[in-house]
Structure 1
Amino acid sequence: MIESLESHPPQPRPIRWWVRACFGLTSPVGQRLYFYTGVGLMAVKYIVEAGFIRLMTGRTLTLLDFVNPLLSSRMQLLQGAPDWAGWALILWSLPFLWIAASMSIRRSADAGLSPWPGMLVLLPIINLPVMLLLAALPHREVERPYGETLGADDVSAAGSALWGIAGGVATGAVAFAMSVLLLESYGAVLFLSTPFFVGAVSAYAYNRPASRDAGSTLAVVMLSVLLSASALLLFALEGFICLLMAMPLAALMAPLGGLIGKAIADQCRGRRSHAMYAVAALPLLAALEFFVVHPHVREVQTSVEIDASPQIVWQNVIAFPDLPEPTEWYFRAGVAAPIGAHIEGHGVGAVRHCRFTTGDFVEPITVWDEPRRLAFDVTEQPEPMFELTPYHEIHPPHLHGTMRSLRGEFRLIELPGGRTRLEGSTWYLLAMWPQEYWIPFSDGIVHRIHQRVLEHVRDVSERSNGPPSRH
């Protein structure tokens, strides 16, 4: 395939034509345009992301890291970078996602297929093989080429809107049932691909009988998303806080899918072009993602300086009196807050119990180096938060194992003047994707838990040591 492309190199085109070909939805996309544009944009994306990661952390993004979604390595490479770095990569990727989807549906149609198989490039794991397949398929003449807008049926806008909303909600329900209820998996298929397909299906069904304006189409799309989220809340499947955290992803992906779904409906009206070709892949990809994508261990470190000796600080590290009621909004909204700690035994093998508002962490001691280092494993842990819900109490699957602490450590470093630098580290796993989006939330939660504990240890230690010298 590549040899045939090289024998007929593309002729130079105006930049404006190329931009319309990449971002538009009507002009045909042939084999050569798809191949060369895809290779060029992947090179640009790799160079920019490799440079960004090198600038933020000094680490190298290899080509294998870049093309292999099973490694989930970008966030591992970004460890230690500012919290906004992951979100910056998400925003940077959005134009490339749009170009991939818009060009792939037109390439699929150019190859004589329905446009819907082109949507498979939005599904993790199989996206690169799908792009390679589309680049290999030759042009095929069809009776009504993509880009030719066909006539409309006489169907009311209200009826079309109901069908659009029903189709979008049904798509989201099937994907949620497979990912969450069956697999207890919170992956990129759920948070990125599903809202995109919800938008595409709802817009397609709304515009299938007759072309509607973009504004009303996007209204139907967002109503489908909001009703899907409301149903999860109503049927006690999810809580308000987690839905609120996921909504920015849905608000970005669903309208993009809606624009593509509308374009497919407008330009394929009167032909067989079933959305189910691509939508059926959602549950299959959710299952595949569950079995092959695994999280990396992350470390979060926080420190404070204390006007007390390491010997005094040590006693308040292994066990400390109860903390006051939390006043921070995130703890009051339901995030688990530490409220006290006690220890059973002495030395390695002792068991530390750190009490949270949701239950106890059980922490067998693995290193007892008084008064310098205390390390422990985490063998039991409570739910990471209480969900805000209209009901008394719910326990959605994401509260069990998606964020799991593995071990922790306190380090006491003696400073001049009888002072101590206290460092706390937690190593944990986060089984939610895309991790570029979720890790700033999870790292931030762990960091604020650290702060609450370390600042309490500081205050108790300084009170027992007398008036702090810095005052």
Structure 2
Amino acid sequence: MKIDLKNRVQKKWFAVITTVVIAELFTLWGIYGIKEYGVFLFFLIPFFIGAGSVLLFGFKNQVTLKEACKIGLVSVSMYALCLICFAIEGLICILMAFPIAAIFTSIGAVIAHNFTNRSTMNASSTFLILVAALPALSFLERDSTPDLTSVVSSIEINASPETVWKNVVEFPKLKEPKEFIFRTGIAYPVNAEIKGRGIGAIRYCNFTTGKFIEPVTVWDEPNLLKFSVAEQPAPLKEISFWDIDAPHLHDYFVSKQGQFKLIRLSNGNTKLEGTTWYYHDIKPAFYWKIWSNYIVHKIHYRVLNHIKTRSEKRKVT
């Protein structure tokens, strides 16, 4: 039997475009309607993209596993491109989310492939059930409380705690970063200054997107400087054709407090530990903590290495 290749291609694109349009509408509702960045956005919508596109194409058609996976990945790629082009998200956030989205898209495509090859006449009905089920499933994570996470980074400095302390409290402008991560729009520290001394002093840590305002809560010179975070800037500047101010840039990654701990070593050097306590209201937490912990460590080491360089140039004799 002769296969109408042109018709199959048209059906593929119909399936892809229809699924992507519906997924984009659900995404807008998730972000701006229920204001959730979680399983609905990163698991269920990608699953729907993979399953929905294959179900639509597989209606009264035989679909190979390779075709199913290809249709799913093309669909999720077009979905991601639309998020960028219509100023819904920026490039960096899309790249961070894409690995987990691609996995769940592929899972959806494989399940839909198995279903269509067993019961092709019910493919369209199953697609409609998926569309109807997504809104109900979107409320699974409502009112869940995010956990506070701590990230600790340390470095050894060839100087006394007294010398290191002077460079911990405040420090002048850092050099431009060489790390690739800071050239993608991720905010990074520029300098720090302080007004006052002791508990109640206000420390200002200036980042590329604004300043952290940090009231000092513990001033144990030269051992421990601890501070809360009263205000913080956006964690990144999106790379996009447009000036994007996505909701997740505000109140979804929240730094609560930080500290610098100076430990006098037996060889006369100082072990300097930097700690940040934060939470983010973006789920699944296990996945996003991989990214956020990595970025916080990079920010820590940018500051710690700067303190090390300055301290070792002016050791107390």
Whether contact under 8 Å (1:160, 1:207) holds in the other structure is: no
> Is 1:421 aligned to 2:271, yes or no?
yes
Whether contact under 8 Å (2:56, 2:127) holds in the other structure is: no
Cα deviation for residue 174 of structure 1 reads: 3.0
Q: Which amino acid aligns with 1:381?
A: Q
> Is 1:169 aligned to 2:26, yes or no?
no
> Is 1:300 aligned to 2:151, yes or no?
yes
Q: Partners of 1:186 and 1:356 in 2: how far apart?
A: 25
In the TM superposition, structure 1's runs of 4+ consecutive aligned residues that sit over 6 Å from their partners are none
**Residue among 216, 227, 232 paired with 2:83:** 232
- Aligned residue number for residue 178 of structure 1: 29
Give the alignment of 1:74-89 within 5 angstroms. none
> Is 1:213 aligned to 2:64, yes or no?
yes
Secondary structure at the aligned position of 1:335 is classed as coil
> Is 1:279 aligned to 2:131, yes or no?
yes
Q: Partners of 1:260 and 1:307 in 2: how far apart?
A: 59
Q: Partners of 2:158 and 2:96 in 1: how far apart?
A: 39
**Residue among 220, 226, 231 paired with 1:380:** 231
Give the alignment of 1:140-159 within 5 angstroms. 156-159=7-10
Cα deviation for residue 385 of structure 1 reads: 1.0
Secondary structure at the aligned position of 1:224 is classed as helix
> Is 1:437 aligned to 2:287, yes or no?
yes
- Aligned residue number for residue 315 of structure 2: 465
RMSD: 2.1
Q: Partners of 1:155 and 1:390 in 2: how far apart?
A: 35
Q: Which amino acid aligns with 1:218?
A: C
- Aligned residue number for residue 244 of structure 2: 394
- Aligned residue number for residue 54 of structure 1: none
Q: Which amino acid aligns with 1:384?
A: P
Cα deviation for residue 274 of structure 1 reads: 3.3
Q: Partners of 2:268 and 2:70 in 1: how far apart?
A: 64
- Aligned residue number for residue 363 of structure 1: 214
Give the alignment of 1:11-90 within 5 angstroms. none
Q: Partners of 2:121 and 2:160 in 1: how far apart?
A: 80
Cα deviation for residue 371 of structure 1 reads: 1.1
Whether contact under 8 Å (1:168, 1:221) holds in the other structure is: no
Whether contact under 8 Å (1:155, 1:210) holds in the other structure is: no
| Aligned-residue identity in percent | 40
What's the CA shift string for 1:180-199, capped at 9, x where partnerless?
Answer: 12233210221112111111
Cα deviation for residue 310 of structure 1 reads: 1.2
Q: 1:182 to 1:465 in 2, by over 3 A?
A: same
What's the CA shift string for 1:295-333, capped at 9, x where partnerless?
Answer: 100000011111111111111111011111111110011
Q: Partners of 2:112 and 2:287 in 1: how far apart?
A: 25
Q: 1:211 to 1:409 in 2, by over 3 A?
A: same
Secondary structure at the aligned position of 2:152 is classed as strand
Q: Partners of 1:378 and 1:317 in 2: how far apart?
A: 17
Secondary structure at the aligned position of 1:270 is classed as helix
Whether contact under 8 Å (1:174, 1:283) holds in the other structure is: no
Secondary structure at the aligned position of 2:125 is classed as coil
- Aligned residue number for residue 244 of structure 1: 95
> Is 1:327 aligned to 2:178, yes or no?
yes
TM-score, scaled to structure 2? 0.93
Q: Which amino acid aligns with 1:235?
A: F
Cα deviation for residue 155 of structure 1 reads: 9.7
Secondary structure at the aligned position of 1:227 is classed as helix
Whether contact under 8 Å (1:187, 1:432) holds in the other structure is: yes
What's the CA shift string for 1:319-366, capped at 9, x where partnerless?
Answer: 011111111110011111111000011111110000111110000011
Whether contact under 8 Å (1:310, 1:412) holds in the other structure is: yes
Q: Which of the two has higher C-alpha Rg?
A: 1
User: Where do 5+ consecutive residues of structure 1 fail to align?
Assistant: 1-152
Q: Partners of 2:166 and 2:245 in 1: how far apart?
A: 36
- Aligned residue number for residue 449 of structure 1: 299
Cα deviation for residue 216 of structure 1 reads: 2.6
Larger relative strand fraction: 2
- Aligned residue number for residue 162 of structure 2: 311
What's the CA shift string for 1:88-128, capped at 9, x where partnerless?
Answer: xxxxxxxxxxxxxxxxxxxxxxxxxxxxxxxxxxxxxxxxx
Q: Partners of 1:448 and 1:376 in 2: how far apart?
A: 20
Whether contact under 8 Å (1:313, 1:461) holds in the other structure is: yes
User: Where do 5+ consecutive residues of structure 2 fail to align?
Assistant: none
- Aligned residue number for residue 11 of structure 1: none
- Aligned residue number for residue 107 of structure 2: 256
Secondary structure at the aligned position of 2:51 is classed as helix
Q: Which amino acid aligns with 2:143?
A: V
Whether contact under 8 Å (1:412, 1:422) holds in the other structure is: yes
Whether contact under 8 Å (2:55, 2:112) holds in the other structure is: yes
Cα deviation for residue 154 of structure 1 reads: 12
Q: Which amino acid aligns with 1:186?
A: Y
Q: Which amino acid aligns with 2:163?
A: I
Secondary structure at the aligned position of 1:348 is classed as coil
Secondary structure at the aligned position of 1:238 is classed as coil
Cα deviation for residue 414 of structure 1 reads: 1.2
Secondary structure at the aligned position of 2:254 is classed as strand
Higher RCO, 1 vs 2 (CA within 8 Å, ≥6 residues apart): 2
What's the CA shift string for 1:34-92, capped at 9, x where partnerless?
Answer: xxxxxxxxxxxxxxxxxxxxxxxxxxxxxxxxxxxxxxxxxxxxxxxxxxxxxxxxxxx
Q: 1:175 to 1:404 in 2, by over 3 A?
A: same
